[in-house]
Amino acid sequence: MSPDQGRRGTSGGGGGAPGPVAARRRGLIVFGVGFLVLFAIVAIAEGVGDPSVPSGDVAVIEGVSGDLGEVTQAEFDHALLIAAKQAGEKKAPKPGTAKYDETKENALNFVLEGIWIQGLAEERGVEVSDKEVAKQLKKVKSENFQSDAEFRKFLKESGFNRADVRGRVRIELLSEAIQEELKEEAPSPSQSQVEAYYEAAKATQFTQPPTRDVRLVINKNRNKAKAARQALTRDNSAKNWKKVAKKYSEDPTTKENGGLQEGVQKGILEEPLNEAVFNTPEGRVEGPIEAQRGFTVFEVVNSTPESVQELKAVESQIQSTLKQREEQEFFASFVAEFGIEWSQRTFCAPSALIERCSNYEDSGHPAAAPEACYEANPKGGPPEACPAPVNQLVPALPGTVTPLEPKGKPLAQRPRPKEEEGAEGAQGVEGLPEGTVPPTEGAPPTGE
């Protein structure tokens, strides 16, 4: 029997770590994980202490009702086996090895995420019924497995059991419900924001440039182009254009339709043909003009002036764009808080400490940094590539923050030459107004 059963029903807290599995139906066991990072706690629980982890448990999560907030040793062992199988191992690695530490972290992370999302749903009053879970599970199975026998094979190869799968389905449904709530809570754009966006985007998004319908005869031989011009000067009817284009034109795209090219925007044709086409009145045969594709004879048959869509016509489109941006930023703020706040409520036994545990003590060293970067006297000297001791700020390039790009474009960072030292303010720094002194590395922005 799964460690889930008898303690949490279909909560799914005993799931394994995300990752590829040998079975080809791998999507089922990880489908809900992507949603988890979208959610965060609205209010931090007050009075969070540092409780001891009871004997027989590997972690406790404060503020979660019932026994959902306890991860037992049996549940952890179950998750560890699943994580190992997803990594291609037949059994869990032995403690004390690097492989064990990696597998342990993956397993516990997955267990904690399942508990956290259920705890969040409980606090927000979000519920899903057993009927909804059963319906969704039936849909998942029909989309991923051709028979129950294939599903059973998947369970055997992955280490999951039916209770685990029901738990993951429940967590996904809770995640989706919370996501919908958060979308509703995201602020809507104001009318002034809509108008500002419209003005900023009018020239590029809401203005249709002038176009021309033009007939062309293109030939790399100047004399043949002249002959086409003479024939068209005598008779520039559409019927004669078809005859002349078929005889003289070497352009495969217009040769068979009387040389007609519709909706030509300024700048599309090569120069000097482009300039000539947009400076010639309708109905006049011109050329031959030597251009990239050959000698060209042309006639403008129709002109469409520039048109600008009014705000009323595109207002709903802009509102939708800005609303989506607001939702993304709203979710981002939740993402920034979710892990921190729930980590503060999670305490792990010494044998199960990972970064998501509140009582985990971090060295502060980036995982990818060589250990020699932090040794007093490293053998062979310090490595050439060590991370900076402070977080690097990425300010926006002045003048690039607009309603279209609210975060602007990142200001290119560069070392300051020695000759600039001692002459601060005398010369403008690249990308900054003249006389501007860049902030000290690592200093907070001024807010200007």
Q: Which residue has the tokens 């190992």?
A: 84
Mean pLDDT of 318-326: 92
Residue 432: band (very low, low, confident or very high) from pLDDT cuts 50, 70, 90: very low
Which pLDDT score, from 0 to 100, does residue 414 have?
60
Which pLDDT score, from 0 to 100, does residue 162 have?
92
DSSP string, 389-414: SSPPP-PBPTT---SS-TT-PBPPP-
* Residue 126: pLDDT over 80: yes
Q: What type of residue is 8? A: R
DSSP string, 363-391: ----TTS-GGGG-SS-TTS--S----SSP
| Reported pTM | 0.60
* Residue 173: pLDDT over 70: yes
**211-219/294-304 β-pairing:** antiparallel
- Whether residue 12 contacts residue 170, with contact meaning beta carbons closer than 8 Å, is answered with yes
* Residue 431: pLDDT over 70: no
Residue 328: band (very low, low, confident or very high) from pLDDT cuts 50, 70, 90: confident
Spatial separation of the C-alpha atoms in residues 341 and 350, rounded to whole Å: 21
Spatial separation of the C-alpha atoms in residues 251 and 247, rounded to whole Å: 11
Spatial separation of the C-alpha atoms in residues 71 and 243, rounded to whole Å: 84
- Average pLDDT of the chain to the nearest whole number: 79
Q: Which residue has the tokens 């795209």?
A: 253
Please write the tens of the pLDDT for every residue from 207-233: 988 999 999 999 999 999 999 999 999
Mean pLDDT of 290-310: 93
* Residue 383: pLDDT over 80: no
User: Phi-psi region for residue 419, left (φ > 0), alpha (ψ -120 to 50) or beta?
Assistant: alpha
Which pLDDT score, from 0 to 100, does residue 417 have?
54
How many Cα atoms are found within 13 Å in the side-chain-facing hemisphere of 440?
1
Which pLDDT score, from 0 to 100, does residue 392 have?
57
Higher pLDDT, 376 or 127: 127
The rounded percent of the chain whose pLDDT value lies above 70 is 77
Which pLDDT score, from 0 to 100, does residue 295 have?
95
Which pLDDT score, from 0 to 100, does residue 390 have?
58
Burial 106-135 (b: 16+ CB within 10 A, else e): bbbbbbbbbbbbbbbbbebebebeeeebee
Which pLDDT score, from 0 to 100, does residue 341 have?
85
